[in-house]
Amino acid sequence: MARTRPVAALAMYADLAGGLFDAATRARLDELVELRGEVLTDFTRPEANDTLREVEVLVTGWGAPEVDAAALAAAPELRAIVHTAGTVKGIVDPACWERGVTVSTAASANAVPVAEFTLAMIILAGKDAFATEHRDRYLRPHDNPESTGNYRRTVGIVGASRVGRRLLELLRKLDLDVLLSDPFVSPEEARALGATWHDLDEVISLSRTLSLHAPSVPETRHLIDKRRLGLMPDGATLINTSRGALVDEAALVDELTTGRINAILDVTDPEPPAADSPLYTLPNVFITPHIAGSIGNEVQRLGAAAVDELARYVAGQPFEHEVSAAHLPTMA
């Protein structure tokens, strides 16, 4: 007897689903599962109860309510959660794993645009593009010192996360000297990734461009503090496309105000910065509003990755990108 399609529901921002699935991906989704109800944005609403009572698979995304003990009680048939974004912190309660619910994430798919954005910023930082643009705008004379350029420039990567590893793959194609600091990576593994392992202080002091890719956990809060900012060489650039809390922002502003280093920030703490933050006006800062991750048509990659995971589930295969409770402490 053919297996029937599992009952599934979408839980995310109401307007997100339309962007996640293009026509072809939506058709695959409808072939694999039987979607029930409207997009769930609040598990406590009465109309959500009927859907949760039947659902075997939840496809979650940004804005999804937390799947906590109460939601689990309302969803006795729930067997899997397929998340169409990166971290599942705040979405998947540890009670899910205790109940035996299998969880998947699209973090690897979301790592692609972050790594691409960071690669672009590394190249532009090496060319001193942002400072040059600022000087040209105000017709200030300038030259290009020998330290400018990307030939054998030393680039430091902090964190061999999904994004960090994807970025390391991209950097292999360039004539750069790449360093890596990650306490969970051995020197041998770093070499296999195309980098030379050093401890964090060494990476900071040796790198002309320093890019952060560590998770935001209590142990990494203000990982880049006043002392470590002081280790950066004159003219070096700090790139943060990970989490704002990795950097002591007050100390960073103080260091940037001297003009000694530069910063490219896609994330800050708080996010966005206060309206009167010097980060908006300092000439040696390039700041973007958390756009490195999937935006626009890039979210379709997340939808496609989630449907691929659903296909594995329906076929009785394990998820390729399964998340366990043990992963939570080190997730971004």
Residues with catalytic roles: 243, 271, 290
Residue with tokens 């307007």: 15
- Which strand ranges, in their side-by-side order, compose the sheet holding 262-265? 196-197, 176-181, 153-158, 209-212, 237-240, 262-265, 285-287
**CA distance to 89, 238, 239, 247, 280, per residue, from 268 (Å):** 19, 12, 11, 8, 12
Matching residue, tokens 């939601």: 71
Residues in the chain: 332
The counts of H helices and E strands in the chain are: 13, 13
What is the C-alpha separation between 227 and 146, in angstroms, rounded?
A: 27
Distances (CA, A) of 248 to 27, 138, 160, 173, 222: 46, 31, 21, 32, 5
Q: How does strand 322-323 pair with strand 237-240?
A: unpaired
